[in-house]
Structure 1
Amino acid sequence: MIQTIYEHYGLRPNEFMPVGKFEGFQYRDILYTIINVKQMEQDELNELYQMSQFLMGQGDRHVATFMPNLNGEMITETETEKFIICRCLAEEKNPNFSPGHELAVFHQKGRLFPYEVEKANRLGQWKSMWEKRLDQMEQFWYGRLRALPNQEMEKRFLETFPYYLGLTENAIQYLVDTEIDDLPRSVDAATICHHRFGQKTWGEDYVYKLPADWVFDHPSRDIAEYIREQYLLTYAVDERHMHQFLSEYEKVNPLSSFSWRLLYARLLFPVHYFEVIEGYYSVQDERQKQKYYEKLEGVLAHSSHYEAFLKRFYQSVGISTSRYHIPELTWIH
């Protein structure tokens, strides 16, 4: 890869380093991130390129922009590789960095994005995407059920899927009811979001915002996924941290009742369960399979804790459900 980068970009990395889930290198005061785009369509890359250019124009100095190769092309393709390189300033994260405030400002700027987004758009698609994911897993579950597997992981999947099917159906219904009963406000306009926003999405030592992480969606997506990740780190809620994150966010972007309900619907959808099951069946290596099995055991062991977290969520963030006319789920214990 070092030779490929030299031939196509005129840069010779001394060593590679992890940049989030990607690989990259630093040269002088610039951080370069190598992103495999074999699975991405050209139209989606064009949209992400436009978003990065727009946010740079809005004064976000931490946004990584696409770097053209020596031929002036954004995508570099060889016999075995298809990748882009994004670059940004290698600036150390300020110890006072506030993820809530920074995310709110990011959303505020992203909301002004003036171009139509098609390939990277996820707005209004949660229901269809969740239904598709659920249908695929349900069909797979029926197939494994008939096969009568004897592996412990598969037995656990067969035993537990009906519960998570019910939880997913509740998430879908909560989402549908929100879209019928409530009205979006101006703060609910679509913006540039992330596939899964978390504590490390914008880096640990350096601050970077990578276009490959982005989608165009409702801002509650990022808030919900940040809160979910915080919960799953320890299977407990650090209410002080959650209050601080939400308070810093709402100083810039106050959330409407519509936002709160979408956020809650997203927390109801058990994406962490889906990812463990899908991950297990997508790998062949036994060590990786064992890791997924251990993750599943963690999810299942704390399923009642997750219900308790969902039951107390509005109360724990200081939201009056009666004042906002927000329905609460009666089946959660």
Structure 2
Amino acid sequence: MAGADWPAVAGRKYRLQKEDTAHARFFFQPLHHFYHRNLEVLADIADNLALGTIPVCRMFRNRENQYVTEVDGVPSVLMSLPDENRHPSLPLGTALADFHRRTALQDTQRFPESPVAGRTSEWVGRIDALAKKYTEIQTKKQTDFFEQRLLANFPYFSGCAENAIQLGVDTFIDHSYGETAVIGHFRFSGSESLYPENPAFWVADDRSRDLAEWLRMLAWTRSGPDQEAAAESFLNDYEARFPLTDPLAAHLFSRLLFPLSFLECCERYFSGSDREDRQLLEETIRANEEKAGNIESMLAFLTKRYANRFEAPEWLASGGTR
């Protein structure tokens, strides 16, 4: 949609003001890219953030006072990029904390797609589905490379999933008041997610979502003292602005413990991937196997940092298995 002739479409279907077009760079975002479909609320949040220091893409109504316009047969939303100069030089943890504080939600009823209330049950369903596939493969006489790696690693990763799910259940029982949701990101990838913010990729969830994604990224790209130093710096910067509560510390740990990358890789493989995609997925399942020790090191760091705020699985507290 970035290549669509927005001036021609805008001239016919939009009534833009001069202040909107003076320095703006417009693009059409396909509606199916949006995680949440309450465009009215997303636009309001974006407009409020734009009044501050957070660079955010804004959304525009058409002449029918609607956000959705069909462009070349694709339902789309006209959006504008923020000024490139509005890029505050803040540490990543500080910038993320500021964004979460500015977008705290009183409730998530306006975002029915939010996973915040049903995350544990979703995890159970997904790991159970993969367990059935694992059982099927055990009965096969011949297996391909990917299936062999699944057979070798599923017991370990399913154990991680079970521990993550149990911690989630225990945390809900111990802290039944829940945790305030914020606007987070479908898949937080550092400064690329923050500059600029794009409402299409926002997810109403608790703060541990973004934090766990970044710590997982650090665990995959760093090791040893460098990994722990990077994680500590990130969390120190974040918590200086927005400290973690006890249930959030537990949620962060359980999210990182849950083998999301391994599960997504297997789901994608068994959904019917083409040959080129399968090669990438074979590399990914091998990488999950190789990086498991790094994830355990990150979990050990969190256990130490948030000592006595949640109960880590005994096998991790005693040094892990990888």
Q: What is the TM-score with the length of structure 1 in the denominator?
A: 0.80
Aligned to 1:52: 46
| 2:118 aligned to which of 125, 148, 159 | 125
Distance of 1:301 and 1:115 partners within structure 2: 38
TM-aligned CA distance change 1:261 to 1:289, over 3 Å: same
Contact 1:227–1:242 under 8 Å retained in 2:
yes
Q: How does 1:26-175 map to 2 (within 5 A)?
A: 29-38=23-32, 43-56=37-50, 59-69=52-62, 72-78=65-71, 80-92=73-85, 94=87, 96-111=89-104, 116-175=109-168
Distance of 2:182 and 2:303 partners within structure 1: 24
TM-aligned CA distance change 1:151 to 1:210, over 3 Å: same
The superposition leaves residues 37-68 of structure 1 with CA deviations (integer Å, 9 ceiling, x where unpaired) of: 237688444443343234335x2541212133
Q: Give the total of aligned pairs.
A: 307
Contact 1:224–1:263 under 8 Å retained in 2:
yes
1:285 to partner: Cα distance:
3.1
The superposition leaves residues 145-194 of structure 1 with CA deviations (integer Å, 9 ceiling, x where unpaired) of: 44545321122123322321221111000111111124658xx4211111
Q: What is the TM-score with the length of structure 2 in the denominator?
A: 0.82
- The SS at the match of 1:302 is helix
Letter in 2 for 1:210: N
Distance of 1:28 and 1:235 partners within structure 2: 47
TM-aligned CA distance change 1:304 to 1:114, over 3 Å: closer
Contact 2:49–2:56 under 8 Å retained in 1:
yes
State the structure with bigger RCO (CA 8 A, min sep 6), 1 or 2.
2
TM-aligned CA distance change 1:195 to 1:42, over 3 Å: closer
1:270 aligns with 2:259: yes
The superposition leaves residues 103-128 of structure 1 with CA deviations (integer Å, 9 ceiling, x where unpaired) of: 11111111156884232422222111
Letter in 1 for 2:169: V
Contact 2:55–2:82 under 8 Å retained in 1:
yes
TM-aligned CA distance change 1:195 to 1:39, over 3 Å: closer
| 2:237 aligned to which of 248, 257, 264 | 248
Distance of 1:331 and 1:97 partners within structure 2: 38
Distance of 2:256 and 2:53 partners within structure 1: 29
Aligned to 2:216: 228
Distance of 2:117 and 2:279 partners within structure 1: 36
Task: Report sequence identity in percent.
Answer: 25
Aligned to 1:192: 183
- List gaps (5 residues or longer) in structure 1: 12-26
Contact 1:62–1:209 under 8 Å retained in 2:
yes
Aligned to 2:17: none
1:292 aligns with 2:278: no
1:297 to partner: Cα distance:
0.9
- The SS at the match of 1:238 is helix
Distance of 2:72 and 2:81 partners within structure 1: 28
Distance of 1:108 and 1:183 partners within structure 2: 22
Distance of 1:233 and 1:166 partners within structure 2: 24
TM-aligned CA distance change 1:172 to 1:313, over 3 Å: same
Contact 2:103–2:182 under 8 Å retained in 1:
yes
- The SS at the match of 1:331 is helix
The superposition leaves residues 7-66 of structure 1 with CA deviations (integer Å, 9 ceiling, x where unpaired) of: 42249xxxxxxxxxxxxxxx9843444433237688444443343234335x25412121
Contact 2:184–2:204 under 8 Å retained in 1:
yes
Aligned to 2:198: 210
1:140 to partner: Cα distance:
3.2
